[in-house]
Structure 1
Amino acid sequence: MPFVRIDALRAGPERLAALGRAVHDALGETIGIPPDDLFQVLTDHDGTNGTLRYGGYLGPDRDDGIVYIAITMRSGRTPVQKRALYRRIAELAHAYAGAEPRNVFVTVTENGSADWSFGHGLAQYADTAD
């Protein structure tokens, strides 16, 4: 159910795939998503036609190795679960793709059950009484 967008600068297909696997594995380990729950958009920016901007906000010394990870999922996870997720994503992105943890930027957006359609024009999570 999480929908994941990953943007990286000059990552190439292998590194993008490794980043996607890192996020997917972290989601499984920390919040228990099923292995076949895989919805990701992986985008490599070449620095010319598309690029990524970053600053030093809140301390990390970021560089062109920046990786933006945006996760949309249904609400209900605790702050403790989210912190564990962020930490595990940074660990696995480093292990799988060589991303420096200081360059791993994660945001989570939450929504409700009726905000999802997995095909056929249905809101599969929504209460059928709606």
Structure 2
Amino acid sequence: MPLVRVDAVAADPQQLTAIGDALHAALVDAFGIPSDDRFQVLRGAGTDQVVYDPGYLGVQRDDGVVFVQVFLRRGRTDEQKRAFYRALAKHAADAGVEPRNLFVALVENGLGDWSFGNGEAQYLDNPPT
């Protein structure tokens, strides 16, 4: 059950929806998550301040930058993560996001780090397969 957070400097609501769709497609493609396992927080910058270096590590980014955090259970291989980054770049391009403007952080955690409501730790009682 990934939880996705997106902050996009210049995205309007329509593009945020497209970015969310692209992220979900990449998660399904690369990690094989169920298609109905979709939990996302999508934000355009609006009046928020977003700071980024336009050339860090030789990647030339601009105000089209999209910050993506994906919280997920640990256990994916480095190759699966690389496949996710490639799939996301491909799908995000369809949403009008240039791959150079994708800034992604995967945050892994354990089964006890999730509650889906009711004050319970559902994954501890019924671990996903």
1:112 paired residue number: 110
What number of residue pairs does the alignment pair up?
125
Give per-residue Cα distances to partners, 1:5-50, cap 9 Å, x unaligned: 011012111100000000000000110111110110001102xx21
Aligned counterparts of 1:57 and 1:88: Cα–Cα separation in 2? 22
Give per-residue Cα distances to partners, 1:87-127, cap 9 Å, x unaligned: 111111111x1111000111100000000001111111114
Unaligned runs of 5+ in 1: none
Deviation at 1:3, TM superposition (A): 0.4
Task: Give the root-mean-square deviation of aligned CA atoms.
Answer: 1.0
Aligned counterparts of 1:116 and 1:83: Cα–Cα separation in 2? 25
Give the letter for the 2:102 counterpart.
V
Q: When the two structures are superposed, what TM-score results if normalisation uses the length of structure 2?
A: 0.93
Give the letter for the 1:72 counterpart.
F
Aligned counterparts of 2:29 and 2:96: Cα–Cα separation in 1? 20
Q: Percent of aligned pairs with the same residue? A: 54
**Are residue 92 (structure 1) and residue 91 (structure 2) matched?**
yes
Aligned counterparts of 2:104 and 2:67: Cα–Cα separation in 1? 6
Q: Within 5 A, what are the aligned runs for 1:24-43? A: 24-43=24-43
Q: When the two structures are superposed, what TM-score results if normalisation uses the length of structure 1?
A: 0.93
Aligned counterparts of 1:63 and 1:107: Cα–Cα separation in 2? 18
**Are residue 74 (structure 1) and residue 73 (structure 2) matched?**
yes
After alignment, is 74-83 or 119-128 more displaced? 119-128
Partner SS, residue 69 of structure 1: strand
Moved over 2 A (4+): none
Partner SS, residue 71 of structure 1: strand
Aligned counterparts of 1:18 and 1:35: Cα–Cα separation in 2? 16
Deviation at 1:51, TM superposition (A): 2.6
1:4 paired residue number: 4
